[in-house]
Amino acid sequence: MVFNYKKNQAWAESLSIVMQIGLTMAGCIVFCFFIGLYLDKWLGTKGIFVTIFIILGVGGGAITVYRQISETLKNPPENTKDSTNGSR
């Protein structure tokens, strides 16, 4: 079965936005986790920097996701109006 993009354009664009938000949040947390892990190994501490940097990753990811959502709401995709008119 082939995906008909024109028929499902609004759904596909919404799915891509949700996936982008999820990957952005996960990427920020994982990136900060590895920075904290490296610092803990380098300085010989036991989880202090991992904890600090995970918290920073969650906060930074949340801010980035908030900005992405705000930008999406300001500039909605223009072609979604055509696909929701009921013309099939």
Which pLDDT value is given to residue 1? 62
Tell me the pLDDT tens digit for each residue of 4-58. 777 878 888 888 889 999 999 999 999 999 999 999 999 999 999 999 999 999 9
Q: Is 82 within a domain?
A: no
Q: In whole angstroms, how large is the CA radius of gyration of the chain?
A: 19
Which pLDDT value is given to residue 88? 46
Q: Is 13 within a domain?
A: no
Residue 15 identity? L
Residue 35 CA to residue 30 CA, distance in Å, equals: 9
Q: How far is CA 51 from CA 11, 26, 39, 85, in A?
A: 37, 16, 11, 49
The residue segments making up the domain with residue 55 are 24-74
Which pLDDT value is given to residue 77? 63
Which of these, 36, 85, 29, lies nearest to 57 by C-alpha position? 29
| Per-residue pLDDT band at 63 (split at 50, 70, 90) | very high
Count: domains in the chain: 1
Q: Is 54 within a domain?
A: yes
pTM: 0.74
Q: Is 5 within a domain?
A: no
Q: Which is higher by pLDDT, 84 or 72? A: 72
Q: Are 14 and 76 in contact (CB under 8 A)?
A: no
Q: Is 32 within a domain?
A: yes
Residue 29 CA to residue 60 CA, distance in Å, equals: 8
